[in-house]
Amino acid sequence: MSTLDQPAVAPKLTEEQRHDLLERTWREPPGFWGWFSNVNHKSIGKRYFVTAFIFLLLGGVLAVLMRLQLSRPENRFLGPDEYNQIFTMHGTTMMFLFAVPMMFEALSTYFVPLMLGARNIAFPRLNAFSYYVYLFGGIMLWVAFVMNVGPDVGWFAYVPLSGPDYTPGKRADFWAQMITFTELSALAVAVEVVVTVFKLRAPGMSLNRIPIFVWAQLVVAFMVIFAMPSVTLSSTMLLLDRLIGTHFFNPAEGGDALLYQHLFWWFGHPEVYIIFLPGTGLVSTLMVAFSRRKAFGYTAIVLATVATGFIGFGVWVHHMFTTGLPQMSYGFFAAASLMIVIPTAVQFYCWIATIWSGHLNMRIPMWFIAGFFFIFLIGGLTGVMLALIPLDWQVHDTYFVVAHFHYVLIGGAVFPLFGAVYYWLPKITGRMLHEGLGKWHFWLFFLGFNFTFFPMHILGLRGMPRRVYTYQPELGWGPINALQSAGATLMAAGVLVLLWNVWRSYRRGDAAGPNPWQAGTLEWATSSPPPVYNFRDLPTVSGVEPVWENPPDQPVVAGLHEDTREVLVTRALDADPDHRTEFPNSSIWPFLAAVAVTALFVGSIFHEGAVLWFSIPVAITLTGWFWPKGNEAARRRERDKWEAQH
Amino acid sequence: MGGAALNRRTLDVSDLPNVVFGYRGLLWWGTLGLAVIEGAMFAILIASYFYLRSRTSDWPPGVMPPAMLYGVLQVICYALSVVPAVWVQKAANKGDLRKVQLGLIVLGVFGLLSLGLRVGEFASLNVKWNSNAYGSVVWMLLGAHTVHLLTDWYDTLVLTVIMFRPSLVEGKRFMDTSENSDYWYFVVLAWLPVWFTIYVAPRIL
């Protein structure tokens, strides 16, 4: 089928002309309406980054408000109703609107195609659709909050509290429908990531040459596929109970409140790994780039990531240890919760070995990786403590748990993410960030984090429960809370320094060049920022770090039509060339479809008939999305080359 | 790289086909992804059914199990529909437009028939969604399957219209036809455990 010519027949076009041609083919429409038609993975990825970062800031503001309220006993800064809404919105925003969209959707959409040597992500229109659905879901939730109908039932919205009897009004409905939006978006990206990784890899990138970060995102995509349907179901059941009188969670009519908890945590615990595994992928990536050697134990790291993905589905009941369960459940889920430490430990040892045997270059991204090591390790250790049932019973619903999961999530996701900002933002913008400001950012955030969250362990052990809006002075929790609130201001200052650094870099940062860190993966084999078509010559690879390992005469892919968005599809296992296919052009229909879906989802909160009526615009917009254009069909028909018939 | 690229070794892929079927195609993988997501959803929903079952001694609680007639007819309808689905898929893989047109129409008729039977099924559940938790979960199971039935039926309809407009017919549409059959197989396969849960489980548990 495909052949290796040596040397190549000289192309008919000059390099300059090819650049112009590719630019014309792949560029997105300009102007206001063009913005809504964009289907390039880098544009959509950037929107995911910016939107998720704004939600991080909003969630952070809520955190600061909570810390102000708790800074002294009997504080009257916030009332109990406001406080309930604020802690619910904080958790919901951070988990559903920041953590997953940032760690999975944003990073995957932007970097996975680049790291695989592809021109775009698989199903680019679906990718655009997923972004708008996420954006509209987030806006809906926040508009509801600003209008004082924000959810106030905690980020997991347990029944019966969130059910029709105890939360009348629309507050819990907005929460449940926000789930539908964000899960739809994440599921769409999960399918795109799986197909991109399986079928759009550069020739030569067999399974054992896939970048570790891409492996992590692939495992996460599978976890999304198996976990998210569960929470979509539980929140839909909750909505149905609230809106049309079903009885899924109503014990009086044969329903069961614990069913909700099972369904939620079947999603909710894998969710932790959905957020954390991209972090480990980032750690591996940065560790390799700054140790200047290939990953020690590549296979072990990949298998550990896969193992974590599997075991992550066997631990959900440890969130329910205090609900009264069969003895067998306690034993099984406590054992699984302890076992999941093993693959994470394997990764830790591989990272240590990578640094040990490499030539560590302690640039600013690595500071955040060091922070990750320290903080995540503590979070992991308190996790082992919480897997022990007697301790879990003591500290359940106390600040000990709050401390634990902030160490895990901020340590496991936010620190690697900040490292990745310093590492990858130069690729996105073409400009470096300032290292000195980066150190200020690191120390303020690192110290602030530990001042805020370490004392929470002690508070929790002393019995302070979560989710109380205030406490009495004689309980003696005042000084520790004041210290934590001071720490929170340091964290906020650290984030402000980051914002200033990004702004400064945007205005007058040093030019990054294609590969400022001399790293080895394919995103560094093109300019910064990459052209709209990613690579002028589509690469082939002969190692896991192609920029380091490819010989000078490594072939490039030739023979694709460059006047249309034609891409090469490779085989799933060995990434040998398989066939060519044409990617869709820019289109406004995914945006319109997202608007129609939003009307359906939001409308259904207010009237069940909305599902019926708004399904008509949904059908119309989806038809418009898939409807082919006559001239494009004619051109493709002309060029169609059918597979050999058997 | 620059000018050196002119003399680089190349991997020439111009001979490769662009109309491929089955697991080679991107859309096949996309359809599979959708089927896995929706399959997980059905599995969790069925697990919820049996969870609720385990919480009570009387099942179905105070009502008759669903009448069998329409459910059994539906199983027969789906079993027969696989024949045109396979037939149209084979025709699509060969690029036989006439057969594809005919096959899509037949498949559309089966979809319509199945939707008609579905109305009968809802009417013979012997319980309302708001009667009790059993009613809620049964309605949700049947409703979730109906959503898939409707979407695939509509998808078949749109594809049929396209296939009767010669200016729009091309290799990609034959690939779509092939994937439409794959999605139909999923609707049929998903029906078996759903059918078992709704109709058989309450009689033998």
Which site among A222, A325, A569 would you substitute to test the B interface, given the most B Cβ atoms closer than 10 Å to its Cβ?
A: A569
Q: How far apart are CA A108 and CA A101, in angstroms?
A: 10
Task: Count other Cβ atoms within 10 Å, centred on residue A326.
Answer: 8
Q: Is B22 left (phi over 0), alpha (psi -120 to 50) or beta?
A: left
Q: Which of B167, B110, B93, B73 is nearest to A633 (CA)?
A: B167
A2 has a pLDDT exceeding 60:
no
B57 in reach of chain A (CB within 8 A) = no
Tell me the chain B residues in contact with residue A557 when contact means C-beta distances shorter than 8 Å: 10-11, 13
Going by the DSSP 8-state scheme, the letter that residue B126 receives in this structure is: S
Are B167 and A630 in contact (CB < 8 Å)?
Answer: yes
As a whole number, mean pLDDT of residues B94-109 equals: 97
Per-residue confidence band for A11, with pLDDT thresholds at 50, 70 and 90: low
B146 in reach of chain A (CB within 8 A) = no
Which pLDDT score is estimated for B6? 53
B166 in reach of chain A (CB within 8 A) = no
The shortest CB-CB distance from B17 to any of A198, A233, A643 is to A643
B69-82: string of b/e by CB count within 10 Å (b at 16+)?
ebbebbbebbeebe
Which pLDDT score is estimated for A646? 58
What is the average pLDDT score of chain A? 95
Q: How far apart are CA A396 and CA A568, in angstroms?
A: 53
Which site among A183, A191, A205 would you substitute to test the B interface, given the most B Cβ atoms closer than 10 Å to its Cβ?
A: A191
> Model confidence over A459-474: pLDDT tens digits?
999 999 999 999 999 9
A10 has a pLDDT exceeding 80:
no
> Model confidence over A605-646: pLDDT tens digits?
999 899 999 999 999 999 999 999 999 999 999 999 999 875
B13 in reach of chain A (CB within 8 A) = yes
Are B6 and A10 in contact (CB < 8 Å)?
Answer: yes
Q: Which of B74, B82, B109, B112 is nearest to B194 (CA)?
A: B74
Q: How far apart are CA A547 and CA A286, in angstroms?
A: 15
Which pLDDT score is estimated for B134? 97
Q: A600 in helix, strand or coil?
A: helix
Per-residue confidence band for B120, with pLDDT thresholds at 50, 70 and 90: very high
Q: How far apart are CA A109 and CA A221, in angstroms?
A: 12
Percent of chain A clearing pLDDT 90 (strictly above): 93
- Shortest distance between the Cα of B54 and any Cα of chain A, in A, equals 10
B135 in reach of chain A (CB within 8 A) = yes
pTM of structure: 0.96
Write down the H helix ranges in A317-414: 327-339, 341-357, 364-386, 389-395, 399-409
A535 has a pLDDT exceeding 60:
yes
> Model confidence over A165-223: pLDDT tens digits?
999 999 999 999 999 999 999 999 999 999 999 999 999 999 999 999 999 999 999 99
Are B26 and A540 in contact (CB < 8 Å)?
Answer: no
Q: Which residues make beta-bridge pairs with A567?
A: A581
As a whole number, mean pLDDT of residues A507-532 equals: 96
The separation between CA A89 and the C-alpha centre of its own chain, rounded to angstroms, equals 18
State the residue for tokens 């992590």.
A216
Are B133 and A254 in contact (CB < 8 Å)?
Answer: yes
User: B12 CB contacts (<8 Å, ≥6 apart)?
Assistant: A2, A3, A4, A5, A8, A558, A559
Which pLDDT score is estimated for A325? 85
User: B37 CB contacts (<8 Å, ≥6 apart)?
Assistant: A187, A190, A191, A225, A228, A229
B179 in reach of chain A (CB within 8 A) = no
Which pLDDT score is estimated for A33? 92
A212-223: string of b/e by CB count within 10 Å (b at 16+)?
bbbbbbbbbbbb
Tell me the chain A residues in contact with residue B56 when contact means C-beta distances shorter than 8 Å: 254
Give Rg (Cα) of chain B.
22
As a whole number, mean pLDDT of residues A405-420 equals: 97
Percent of chain B clearing pLDDT 70 (strictly above): 97
Are A246 and B130 in contact (CB < 8 Å)?
Answer: yes
- Shortest distance between the Cα of B171 and any Cα of chain A, in A, equals 6
The shortest CB-CB distance from A645 to any of B2, B94, B171 is to B94
- Nearest C-alpha in B relative to A243: B130
As a whole number, mean pLDDT of residues A306-324 equals: 92
Omega before A270 cis (within 30°)?
no
B204 in reach of chain A (CB within 8 A) = no
A9 has a pLDDT exceeding 80:
no
Contact (Cβ atoms closer than 8 angstroms) between residue A435 and residue A505: no
Which pLDDT score is estimated for A644? 85
As a whole number, mean pLDDT of residues A72-96 equals: 97
The separation between CA A313 and the C-alpha centre of its own chain, rounded to angstroms, equals 18
The shortest CB-CB distance from B136 to any of A2, A198, A246 is to A246
Are B133 and A248 in contact (CB < 8 Å)?
Answer: yes
As a whole number, mean pLDDT of residues A526-552 equals: 96
As a whole number, mean pLDDT of residues A439-449 equals: 98
